[in-house]
Structure formats: C-alpha cells, structure tokens
Structure 1
Amino acid sequence: MSKTDHPVTPAVRFLRQHKIEFVPHLYPYEERGGTAHSAHCLNVDEHVVVKTIVLQNEAKKGLIVLMHGDKQISTRKLGRLLGMKHIEPADPQQANKWTGYLVGGTSPFGCKTTLPVYMERSIAALDKIYINGGKRGFLVEISPIALNALAAEAVDVAAD
C-alpha cells in the first residue's frame, strides 16, 4: 500500500514502530455521527468499532477508556474500580492537549502524553476491531492483541 492511501498520523507511526499490522479505512466524517456512522460507512457491526474516550478524575488527571461503539461507560463503576471519587469526560481542549488529537479523531496510539489506558474486557475476545487512526474519518482495523502495546488494563465498566 502506498503512503498516499491514508493519512500518516502519530497513531500510524506508533503502529509501524511497534510492527503492528493494520488495515486503514477512510470514511466521510460526520459531526456527531459517532460509531454508528462509521460502522454504517464501513458496513461492520457497531460493536467492533471501538471508541477512545478521554476522561479525567477529580484531580484533573487524564485517562483513556476503550469501549465498544454500541456501549456506554459507567463512570460510577470505573471510579469505584480505580478508587476515584469523580470521573467525567475531559474537556475537548484538555483532551487535545493530552493526546494531540481532535475529538472525533482521537486514537489511543501515539498520544502526546502517556495516559493510563483501560479497555472493556470483552474487546479482547473479538477477532478484529476498528479503532481511530488519529484523524476524523480514519479508522484502522487491527487485532485486539495490538492493544497490548498500550499496556491497556482490562476492566468491566460498560453501563448496564
């Protein structure tokens, strides 16, 4: 595949550096379209599209949670699990400062700041996942095993 077929983002550089195989997928980005839109464009189940959510705790420390596209994060469960009183989505400007990515184009790979990464445990059971490649309208298809490069901790924090 030539270099002009997809953007070369910090996430792509991270994947290449760690010798992680990936298949790039471009789609027309839609503001507030979320994983439902990208799954529809790629003709895949929304469950295998993994969203990267940047959160912050009461001390304004950042963390990343990887969640199935068709699920929501229970910040209450996450807070209890991590021993934190309050967890909320990070402000988009703060998320950009930590990751270097815009909301809608946030990848867990190649972030400016190393943040702790937590992934919903059931993601590991999938054959392949589609996760943001560091740009709006750009997903990479990878094996969930690739998330080992992030030292992601498996958790059960999906909302019931």
Structure 2
Amino acid sequence: MMENNIDAEQYIYESTCHTVEEAASAANASPKEIVKSICLIDNGGNLIVGIVRGEDRVSTSRVAKALNIETPKIATPEEILDKTGYICGGVPSFGYEGIFLIDPKVMENDLIYTGGGSPYSLTKISTKILQQINKGQIVRIRK
C-alpha cells in the first residue's frame, strides 16, 4: 500500500479475522462493512475475484453471466496462494492480477474492511478507492 501510495489503513489483531463474525468483532464494525474476496478460476485458468459483503455469497452463475463465460469454479487454497500470493482467509480485495467484480451492495458503504494479507489482519479502505485500484466492475454477483 505504501509503495503504491494507496490511501488505506492496515490493522493487525491478536485473534483471527478468518470469518465475517471474527472480522467484525475485531474491527468493532458491522458485518455489512466487512467484505469477502471470493476467488474463482475460469476455464482458462484466470483468476476472478468476486467481492461481496460479508453476509452475502457469490453466485458463480451470475459471475459467468456477467463475464459471458462458462461457470467458473471456486479456487482451491493452493490456487488462491498461487494466484494472489496470499493464503486463504486473509486475501485482500486488491494488489494482484485478476478480474475483479464488485457487488453493488458493497458500494453502498463509503468505507469497508477487506482482508489484510493474513488471517490476523484487515485493511480499511474507501469503496471508491478500491474500485479505482482494482479496476473493479460493479455488477450483481451475490446470490
């Protein structure tokens, strides 16, 4: 974030932020302010990242329709590490190559918390900045 002059704050906690409940508790935030980065892989091996609010789930069929592709599969923990450089449970919503899809519900908040690079950290960032830096397409992808 510092190298690329990204206006965001990283927080490191004593307890894990692996689940939405843990993240909301650690950040003293509402689950609506927590976002998940769901990593998917298309038939060509490309990474697609579905960004949804913590309480929502990604619809692979909506992702397929939005990108006009065959239904992608959920990435394995090994694929997530390989494609993002982060372990499952701490993946940020930016900072690596991929196709980023942001559900419109995410954009209802000015600020959100996303993975901070480890299961013990979160990054607080403006939704507008997030969309700008990951070149995210705003499209309904939640179930």
Q: TM-score, normalised by structure 2?
A: 0.90
CA distance in 1, matches of 2:50, 2:68: 16
Residue in 2 aligned with 1:24?
10
Task: Show structure 2 runs of 5+ residues with no match.
Answer: none
Measured after TM superposition, the shift of residue 136 of structure 1 is: 1.5
Q: TM-score, normalised by structure 1?
A: 0.81
Task: Tell me, yes or no, if structure 1 residue 101 matches structure 2 residue 82.
Answer: no
Root-mean-square deviation (CA, aligned residues, Å) is 1.5
Measured after TM superposition, the shift of residue 21 of structure 1 is: 2.1
List per-residue Cα deviations over 1:51-76 (Å, max 9, x = no partner). 11110123332211111011001111
1:42 to 12, 27, 38: 27
Task: Tell me, yes or no, if structure 1 residue 137 matches structure 2 residue 137.
Answer: no
CA distance in 1, matches of 2:109, 2:90: 22
Measured after TM superposition, the shift of residue 38 of structure 1 is: 1.0
Q: Which amino acid aligns with 2:104?
A: R
Residue in 2 aligned with 1:118?
101
1:16 match: secondary structure: coil
Check the 8 A contact 2:52/2:105 in 1, yes or no. Answer: no
Measured after TM superposition, the shift of residue 102 of structure 1 is: 0.3
Residue in 1 aligned with 2:134?
150
Check the 8 A contact 2:110/2:128 in 1, yes or no. Answer: no
Q: Which amino acid aligns with 1:155?
A: V
Number of equivalent positions: 141
Q: Which amino acid aligns with 2:42?
A: N
Measured after TM superposition, the shift of residue 107 of structure 1 is: 1.4
Greater per-residue helix proportion: 1
Check the 8 A contact 1:18/1:149 in 2, yes or no. Answer: no
CA distance in 2, matches of 1:63, 1:77: 12
Question: Which of 1 and 2 has greater Rg?
Answer: 1
Task: Tell me, yes or no, if structure 1 residue 71 matches structure 2 residue 56.
Answer: yes
Identity %: 22
